[in-house]
C-alpha cells in the first residue's frame, strides 16, 4: 500500500498529496496547535539566529543531523507559515493545485525535523513542550500519511485474487523448496508465530520490513534449527 501511495502522490499530487478527508473542524484544530507549536519553538530561538531560506535550513538539518541555532528559527518560521496558509485556505481540500507540492513538502520537513529533534534530544526542551509538539506532529502526519479506503480494498482484493490463482506455486516454494526436507506442521506454526512477532514489532517501532522475506526467513530458521538443511539457491530466489 505504501508503494501505491507513492505512485499516486507522484502521478496525481493534487488529489493524493494531502488528505482531503480532513474536516473543517480538524483543520481548525490544526491551526490552533500550529500556533501553539510556533509559540513554543519561539521560546528556544536564539537572539543571534539568522536564516535566509527556511526550507533550505530545515532540509540541511534533516540531511546532516546537525542542529544549529538557525535551525530552530527556520523551523519556527516554517511552522508559522504552515499555520497561516491553513488559515488562508481553510481546508486541505482547498489548497490550490500549484501550492499542493510545496505545502506537502513543508509538512514533511516539519515532521521529520521534530522527529530528529526528539530522537537526538537536541536541543533540550521541557517535557510539557514536547507533549504539545508531539500533538502537533500527529496533526501534521494526519495530513500527509494516510491511505484512502479504496486503496486498502484494492490491495486486499489484488492479494486475495493473486493468492487464489498462484497459491500452489507459493505453497510448494515455501513448504518444499526452501529447505531440503518438506515443512512439518510444527515448523510451519513456529515460522508463522515468528513472522507474526517480527512484523508486529516492526509495525510498533515503525520499521520497514517485507512480510514475504520475514516469513521465508522464519521457514529457513526452522529448517536450520531442525538441522534439515537449506536449499541455498532456492532460498535466495524466494
Reduce the secondary structure of the chain to three states and give it as a string: CHHHHHHHHHHCHHHHCCCCCCCHHHHHHHHHHHHHHHHHHHCCCCCCCCCCCHHHHHHHHHHHCCCCHHHHHHHHHHHHHHHHHHHHHCCHHHCCHHHHHHHHHHHHHHHHHHHHHHHHCCCCCCHHHHHHHHHHHHHHHHHHCCCCHHHHHHHHHHHHHHHHHHHHHHHHHHHHHCECCCCCHHHHHHHHHHHHHHHHHHHHHCCCCCHHHHHHHHHHHHHHHCCCCECHHHHHHC
CA distance 115 to 134: 9
Query: Which pLDDT does position 101 carry in this prediction?
Result: 85
Range of the domain at 132: 9-144
- Number of domains forming the structure of the chain: 2
Neighbours of 70 (CB within 10 A): 20
Q: Is residue 42 part of a domain?
A: yes
Rg of the Cα atoms in the chain: 23
Residue 172: partners with Cβ closer than 8 Å, 6 or more residues away: none
Q: Is residue 213 part of a domain?
A: yes
Q: Is residue 75 part of a domain?
A: yes
- Residues of the chain where predicted confidence (pLDDT) is lower than 50: 237-238
**Boundary residue ending a domain (144, 164, 186):** 144
The verdict on 110 and 154 lying in the same domain is: no
Closest CA to 107 of 133, 135, 78: 78
The verdict on 26 and 137 lying in the same domain is: yes
Q: Is residue 173 part of a domain?
A: yes
Residue 20: partners with Cβ closer than 8 Å, 6 or more residues away: 92, 93
Query: Which pLDDT does position 13 carry in this prediction?
Result: 65
Alpha-carbon torsion 206, 212, 213, 219, what sign?
positive
Q: Cell for 215?
A: 516469513
Query: Which pLDDT does position 52 carry in this prediction?
Result: 81
The verdict on 14 and 123 lying in the same domain is: yes
Q: Is residue 3 part of a domain?
A: no
Query: Which pLDDT does position 237 carry in this prediction?
Result: 47
**Boundary residue ending a domain (144, 172, 191):** 144
Alpha-carbon torsion 159, 164, 170, 174, what sign?
positive
Q: What is the pLDDT of residues 94-152, one digit of tens each?
A: 888 888 888 999 999 999 999 999 999 989 899 999 999 999 999 999 988 887 788 88
Query: Which pLDDT does position 5 carry in this prediction?
Result: 67
Amino acid at each position: 500500500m505504501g508503494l501505491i501511495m507513492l505512485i499516486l502522490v507522484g502521478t496525481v499530487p493534487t488529489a493524493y498529496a494531502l488528505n482531503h478527508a480532513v474536516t473543517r473542524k480538524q483543520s481548525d484544530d490544526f491551526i490552533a496547535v500550529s500556533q501553539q507549536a510556533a509559540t513554543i519553538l519561539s521560546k528556544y530561538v536564539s537572539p543571534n539566529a539568522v536564516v535566509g531560506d527556511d526550507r533550505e535550513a530545515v532540509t540541511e538539518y534533516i540531511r546532516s543531523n546537525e542542529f544549529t541555532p538557525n535551525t530552530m528559527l527556520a523551523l519556527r518560521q516554517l511552522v508559522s507559515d504552515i499555520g497561516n496558509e491553513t488559515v488562508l485556505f481553510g481546508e486541505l481540500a482547498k489548497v490550490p493545485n500549484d501550492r499542493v507540492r510545496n505545502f506537502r513538502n513543508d509538512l514533511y520537513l516539519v515532521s521529520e525535523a521534530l522527529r530528529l529533534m526528539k530522537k537526538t534530544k537536541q536541543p533540550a526542551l521541557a517535557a510539557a513542550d514536547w507533549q504539545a509538539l508531539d500533538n502537533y506532529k500527529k496533526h501534521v502526519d494526519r495530513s500527509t500519511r494516510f491511505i484512502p479506503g479504496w486503496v486498502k480494498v484494492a490491495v486486499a482484493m489484488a492479494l486475495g485474487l493473486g493468492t487464489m490463482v498462484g497459491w500452489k506455486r507459493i505453497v510448494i516454494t515455501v513448504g518444499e523448496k526452501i529447505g531440503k526436507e518438506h515443512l512439518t506442521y510444527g515448523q510451519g506454526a513456529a515460522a508463522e508465530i515468528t513472522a507474526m512477532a517480527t512484523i508486529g514489532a516492526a509495525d510498533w517501532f515503525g520499521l520497514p520490513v517485507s512480510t514475504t522475506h520475514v516469513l521465508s526467513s522464519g521457514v529457513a530458521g526452522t529448517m536450520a534449527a531442525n538441522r534439515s538443511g537449506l536449499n541455498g539457491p532456492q532460498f535466495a530466489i524466494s
